[in-house]
Amino acid sequence: MKIGYLGPEATFTDYAVRQLFPEAERIPFVSIPECMDAATAGEIDAAIVPLENSIEGSVNLTIDYLVHETDLQIVGEAVVPIRQHLLVHPNHLDKWKEVQLICSHPHALAQCHKFLHKEFKGIPLEHMSSTAAAAKFVQSHPERNIAAIANSLAGEEYGLALAQQNIHDYSYNHTVFAVLAKSGESISIDPTVESKTSLMVTLPSDHAGTLHQVLSAFSWRKLNLSKIESRPMKTGLGKYFFIIDINLKIDDVLIPGAIAELEALGCTVKMLGSYSSYKI
Ligand SMILES: O=C(O)C(=O)C[C@]1(C(=O)O)C=C[C@@H](O)C=C1
């Protein structure tokens, strides 16, 4: 089985792939959209992409690309603990407090915002395509006193020294990764802790109280929602769609009944997936 991920080797996404699919052939991509495109084209069996972080919130690029640009389905998800470390080239370990630049993925920098503000005020931050790309960049510039924020796997992979560990601002730091595949493809992930169904719901325009009616379609059926999030449709100001997660696998009665009720209200409903959730 071929699984695509945001590369290079030793990103958090790569770590998630290694945990979920230890036997798979891992294929790195330079961006999340490229990885999803490869799944759509059938070059890989599934793409693993970050969806949401407990400190930083949703990964908008993933959600928007999934909804607007692909027909991929969510076939599984994994909740992965995230530990961010400050890594430097071993040549500069004794002067890590004087680093001239700190680079990482924007989500990783944001997860360490308070640490950076306190310890490295005024030091430039550079966005890289992933945490491992930042670690690789530091490795390839041994002459510069610069640092990467990345995980310990990247530290080992790129021969960097650990200057400060666990620098994320809140100790509870977890990212949810989605497993995306073409519709009809099933990928088994065991053991399952929870099940979920994700829907994209677009409301009819200018109807007072529709969101209330949408929520009551779930509430009177006692369908427990774990997330409701709005994202712009990208067609005009004030035009939004909703992502709604239900804590249940698709069944024959309750969820199809709720969907039919939403459609009767004039909503458009797209099934994003019904899948198992795995905790690493
Ligand atoms: O850069 C990485 O290592 C990634 O896998 C990406 C990513 C993200 O996009 O949120 C994944 C997990 C962490 O939250 C930080 C970065």
Q: What is the pLDDT at residue 159?
A: 98
Does 175 sit in the ligand 1 pocket, CB within 6 Å?
yes
Rounded to whole angstroms, the Cα distance separating 60 from 50 reads 10
Give one DSSP letter per residue of 170-210, joined into a string: SS--EEEEEEEE-TT-----SS--EEEEEEEEEPPTT-TTH
pLDDT digit string, tens, across residues 14-45: 999 999 999 999 999 999 999 999 999 999 99
Length of the chain: 280
- pLDDT, one tens digit per residue, over 50-91 is 999 999 999 999 999 999 999 999 999 999 999 999 999 999
Report the nearest atom of ligand 1 relative to the CA of 32.
9
C-alpha 44 – ligand 1 centre gap (Å): 20
3-state secondary structure of 255: helix
Which numbered atom of ligand 1 lies nearest the CA of 62? Answer: 9
User: Which pLDDT score, from 0 to 100, does residue 192 have?
Assistant: 63
- Give 195 Cα–ligand 1 centroid separation in angstroms: 23
Q: Is 105 in the pocket of ligand 1 (CB under 6 A)?
A: yes
* pLDDT < 50: residue spans in the chain: none
Distance between Cα 25 and ligand 1 center (Å): 20
Q: Which tokens go with 16?
A: 């998630």
Q: Which ligand 1 atom is nearest residue 80's CA?
A: 12
DSSP letters, 117-168, are HHHSTT--EEE-SSHHHHHHHHHT-TTS-EEEEE-HHHHHHTT-EEEES---
pLDDT score at 187: 67
Distance 148 CA to ligand 1 centre (A): 13
Atom of ligand 1 nearest to the CA of 105: 1
User: In a 3-state reduction of DSSP, which class is residue 104?
Assistant: strand
105 alpha carbon to ligand 1 midpoint, in Å?
7
Q: What is the pLDDT of residue 92?
A: 97
ipTM tops 0.90: yes
Q: How far is the CA of 81 from the centre of ligand 1 (A)?
A: 11
Question: Does residue 37 sit in helix, strand or coil?
Answer: helix
